[in-house]
Amino acid sequence: MSGKYATETLHVEEGGIARAAEILRDGGLVAVPTETVYGLAARADSDAAVARIYEAKGRPSFNPLIVHIASLAQARTLAEFSPVAERLAEQYWPGPLTLVLPRRRAAGLSDAVTAGLDTLALRMPAHPIMRGLLDAVGLPLAAPSANRSGFISPTSPAHVLASLDGRIDAVLDGGECEKGLESTIAAVRSNGAVEILRPGPIALEAATKGEGAIEAPGQLASHYAPGKPVRLMASEVAPDEFWIGFGAIAGDCTLSESGDLTQAAARLYACLHEGARSDKPRIAIAPVPQTGIGIAINDRLRRAATLPD
């Protein structure tokens, strides 16, 4: 324990969901499993609880949070659903799609959640433990990825503790995350156009890629960083490099020996965490094909390889 909280690990078999719900209702912080990555949850209607998320992560206050909801009915009280948004929600929720929609002002959310934007990012997760928790709390939960700001996202309770032990009340154990990459973020514009702000597990065919101002700060050039230099497209390795492999390149840790991109997505952050922990001062990563979810993997790798300003 390194910070001001004695971070507990909660287990579902031991009443962990009810305990996590109680901590959250009291305004506390709980790291929660989702099908993408672990989130750092707080009740989204409380200024004090939301402020604690920014403090624990060291997150800049201009970077808004995703609000997680249990049902479409609950989502409709928080944001305006156009016919296009309704259709996307019906098709992909629950699941790894975040919709950025016009915010309803009177909805009772803390203003810190949206960092002053007129839009709100909403997601209905599919993970059974997270769904059980949302039902038990009965409130929308703000939850960014459960890591210090700018660092690698967590796909296991150990990853969460590696950066937030002592800074949060609890972590609810849900084992390893299935998808391993953050949700696809799609903004639905007032003219019905759909713009992808962050590529992820769901590929939306009829959508354009956002190229304008940085609207989702997760799209900052440097993000998901392991704290040491990262070299991409590495077909060979130097003695001082930890090598992350793919397919024919085994490396010190492989994303997928068989060259399977879904498996590579699920293992990406675990390999980056291993590289961060290793005594090698640098990380090299084998080429990953730019198709399907490989597009989202390469998006995260480019940001992991960019040094902060």
> Which one of ligand TXA, Mg ion, none is in contact with 183 (Cβ closer than 5 to 8 A by kind)?
ligand TXA
Q: Does 252 bind ligand TXA (CB under 6 A)?
A: no
Closest listed residue to residue 201, CA positions, set 186, 212, 211: 186
Stretch that binds ligand TXA, among 1-9, 79-87, 181-189, 274-282 (CB under 6 A): 181-189
Strands in the chain per DSSP E: 8-11, 30-32, 39-43, 66-68, 97-102, 119-123, 141-142, 170-173, 184-188, 194-198, 208-209, 230-231, 241-246, 249-251, 253-254, 282-285
Q: Round to whole Å and give the CA distance between 39 and 126.
A: 13
CB 269 within 8 A of CB 285: no
DSSP 8-state assignment for residue 200:
-
**Nearest approach, Cβ of residue 97 and ligand TXA (Å):** 9
Amino acid (1-letter code) at residue 15: G
Q: Does 98 bind Mg ion (CB under 5 A)?
A: no
Q: Does 271 bind ligand TXA (CB under 6 A)?
A: no
Q: Does 121 bind ligand TXA (CB under 6 A)?
A: yes
> Which one of ligand TXA, Mg ion, none is in contact with 215 (Cβ closer than 5 to 8 A by kind)?
ligand TXA
CA distances from 171 to 151, 158, 166, 176 (A): 18, 10, 11, 13
Window 157 to 176, contacts with Mg ion (CB under 5 A): none
Q: Does 293 bind ligand TXA (CB under 6 A)?
A: no
Query: Quick one: which of 36, 155, 254, 298 contacts ligand TXA (CB under 6 A)?
Result: 36
- 155 phi and psi, to 5 degrees? -120, 10
Q: Is 15 left (phi over 0), alpha (psi -120 to 50) or beta?
A: left
Q: Which is nearer to ligand TXA, 108 or 281 (CB)?
A: 108
Q: Round to whole Å and give the CA distance between 184 and 206.
A: 14
Q: Which is nearer to Mg ion, 7 or 145 (CB)?
A: 145
**Nearest approach, Cβ of residue 287 and ligand TXA (Å):** 25
Binding mask 263-282 for Mg ion (x = CB under 5 A): --------------------
- 140 phi and psi, to 5 degrees? -65, 140
**Nearest approach, Cβ of residue 245 and ligand TXA (Å):** 25
Which residues in this chain contact Mg ion in the complex, by CB under 5 A?
Answer: 145
Binding site for ligand TXA (CB under 6 A): 34, 36-37, 39, 63-66, 96, 98, 100, 114, 117, 119-121, 123, 143-145, 182-183, 185, 197, 215-218
